[in-house]
């Protein structure tokens, strides 16, 4: 017969286990466990077995254990977890990739009925179609203003209806109707709210960032640093290329306005004196087309000249 442990013994055992986890792991996921059953939690533990451990417990007990651990070891990094222990939360200690562990945890969600008084986490829409209910059940639909018709002796919903909005409490009529239709609109599981990694705490959304996102944000930061450096004339590595370029522009402007010159400035001065030297030659085809057009114009001029002479001859003959 197994000896039943006292509450004090359970606390000592829990404290020892938590301290062991704090010694062994540096990455922790903080998860909200609202409406998560014991069987569902057991399935999550099985799925994470190998490189992750799920620890549940009273927040006050976890805070006390972390505080004592920090005092005994001098490692105060885990004190960052204490403000996060609010509500029904659990700790997932892991050695694996944080993003992969979060994705694995999100797989274990269980559908749940809409119980009276629950706050809807999502919008609930009743789809159109045959409900399989007999005509005597139309009162439920009438109360909720759901358009229906009788088709082949059963109630049929005509159009989709938004029954419950996100954030609203589930009423008795909505709960009864969804139960009759066999709809389990809500799904619950562990929801990761914060991530701890070697003394740093951040939002789980950071795990969704890709290398492209990081490069884009880094480039944006470098651009901001360069802008500030140029504005206050403070040299930095980010602003150095722009400063050299601006300096070269100033030297070139002075060389153009004065007699001082250097090889690169000579080219600019030559261009300013005679821009036609830098004109790009027209394509061969265009040149050929232009060449053929010129003789045609000359031929037209030649044709027009005899016509003027003939008119003159005609005029002279009339006056004669």
Measured distance CA(250)–CA(242) in Å, rounded: 12
Neighbours of 44 (CB within 10 A): 22
If you average pLDDT over every residue of the chain, what do you get? Answer: 81
Task: Please give the pLDDT value at position 308.
Answer: 45
Predicted TM-score of the model (pTM): 0.61
Task: Please give the pLDDT value at position 280.
Answer: 52
User: 277 versus 299: which is more confidently predicted?
Assistant: 277
For the stretch 194-221, pLDDT in tens is 999 988 999 988 888 888 888 888 888 8
Q: What is the mean pLDDT of residues 229-246?
A: 85
Task: Please give the pLDDT value at position 313.
Answer: 44
Nearest to 27 by CA among 81, 86, 65: 81
Q: What is the mean pLDDT of residues 225-252?
A: 85
Measured distance CA(204)–CA(196) in Å, rounded: 10
Locus of tokens 């010129």:
294
Task: Please give the pLDDT value at position 285.
Answer: 41
Indicate the SS3 state at residue 212: helix
The token pair at 218 is 């880094």
Measured distance CA(193)–CA(139) in Å, rounded: 42
For the stretch 256-271, pLDDT in tens is 888 777 777 777 777 7
Task: Please give the pLDDT value at position 290.
Answer: 53
For the stretch 91-105, pLDDT in tens is 999 998 898 999 888
What domains can you pick out in the chain, each with its CATH number?
A: 7-109+189-207 (3.30.70.1730), 120-185 (3.90.105.20), 211-273 (no CATH)
């Amino acid at each position: 017969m197994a000896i039943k442990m006292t509450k004090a013994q359970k606390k000592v055992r829990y404290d020892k286990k938590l301290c062991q986890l704090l010694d062994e792991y540096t990455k922790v996921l903080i998860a909200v466990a609202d409406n998560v059953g014991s069987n569902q939690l057991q399935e999550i533990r099985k799925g994470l077995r190998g490189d992750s451990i799920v620890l549940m417990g009273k927040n006050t007990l976890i805070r006390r254990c972390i505080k004592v651990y920090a005092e005994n070891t001098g490692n105060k990094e885990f004190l960052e977890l204490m403000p996060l222990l609010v509500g029904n939360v659990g700790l997932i200690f892991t050695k694996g990739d944080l993003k992969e562990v979060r994705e694995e945890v999100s797989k274990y969600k269980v559908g749940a009925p809409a119980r009276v008084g629950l706050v809807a986490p999502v919008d609930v829409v009743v789809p159109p179609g045959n409900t399989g209910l007999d005509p005597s059940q139309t009162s439920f639909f009438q109360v909720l203003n759901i358009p229906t018709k009788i088709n082949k002796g059963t109630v049929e919903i005509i159009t989709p209806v938004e029954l419950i909005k996100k954030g609203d409490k589930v009423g008795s009529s909505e709960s009864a109707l969804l139960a009759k239709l066999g709809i389990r609109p809500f799904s619950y599981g562990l929801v990761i709210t914060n991530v701890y990694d070697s003394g740093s705490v951040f939002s789980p959304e950071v795990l969704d960032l890709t290398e492209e996102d990081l490069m884009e944000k880094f480039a944006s930061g470098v651009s901001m640093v360069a802008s500030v450096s140029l504005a206050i004339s403070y040299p930095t590595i980010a602003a150095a290329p722009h400063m050299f370029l601006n300096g070269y522009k100033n030297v070139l402007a002075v060389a153009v306005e004065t007699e001082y010159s250097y090889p690169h400035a000579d080219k600019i001065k030559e261009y300013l004196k005679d821009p036609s030297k830098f004109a790009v030659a027209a394509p061969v085809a265009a040149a050929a087309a232009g060449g053929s057009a010129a003789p045609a114009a000359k031929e037209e001029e030649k044709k027009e000249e005899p016509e003027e002479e003939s008119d003159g001859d005609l005029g002279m003959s009339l006056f004669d």
